[in-house]
Amino acid sequence: MDSLKEIEKSEKWEIIDIGKISELANKKFSSLFPTTKGKFFLGDYLNLKTMDVSINVLKPGYVNPYLHVHRYHEEVYIFLEGEGEMMIGDKVIKVKEGYIVRVDPEVKRGVRNPDSSQSNLVFICVRAQGQFNRLDGEGAGPVLGVDGWSYDKIIEKAKKKV
């Protein structure tokens, strides 16, 4: 992908710049779907181990490459811009900016931006597998040295609510 830039990288983290999201609709860069425009899998460019994230920009009349299910992981779709339709099971629902949709692994799903749409449909899809525990982190001290941002205090409050 010509607009992709590696900003900085270490053994344990990476930063990339994919350019303007609005320009992704015209680019092909998916290893799974090399002819599909507007679908960017972060796992193709970052060393993701337990999850994958795709950034999707569908022009009017475009459909995510296929209806699909998964064996092991659920997905969360975060709609950032535009309006479209999502098939979940046998039901088609309207989606728009601000909607967040969670889908179990075995449920058929797909997203499309109808021909009648006047704008791109922009969304992020996050998929992860394995057991998730919101409290599996550990405090690492203050964030950027700013008082009140200690992770330990946040965890302490969260544990009291459980």
pLDDT at 3 over 60: yes
Q: Are 54 and 40 in contact (CB under 8 A)?
A: yes
Residue 123's Cα: distance from chain center in Å? 7
Looking at per-residue pLDDT, the higher value among 123 and 19 belongs to 123
Residue 145: what pLDDT? 45
pLDDT of residue 137: 55
Which among 106, 158, 98, 101 is positioned nearest to 134, based on CA atoms?
A: 158
Between residues 25 and 134, the one the model is more confident about: 25
Mean pLDDT of 14-30: 84
Cα distance between residue 125 and residue 90, in whole Å: 20
Domain(s) of CATH 2.60.120.10: residues in the chain: 5-130
User: Which class for 48: exposed (0-12), middle (13-18), buried (19 or more C-beta within 10 A)?
Assistant: middle
* 105-122: average pLDDT: 91
Task: Show the DSSP H helices in 1-136 as ranges.
Answer: none
Contact (CB, 8 A) for 127 and 72: no
Instruction: Say what the pLDDT of residue 40 is.
Output: 84
Looking at the domain that runs over 5-130, which CATH code has it been given? 2.60.120.10
pTM of the model: 0.78
Choice between 131 and 15, residue whose per-residue pLDDT is larger = 15
The confidence score (pLDDT) of residue 37 equals: 79
pLDDT at 95: 98
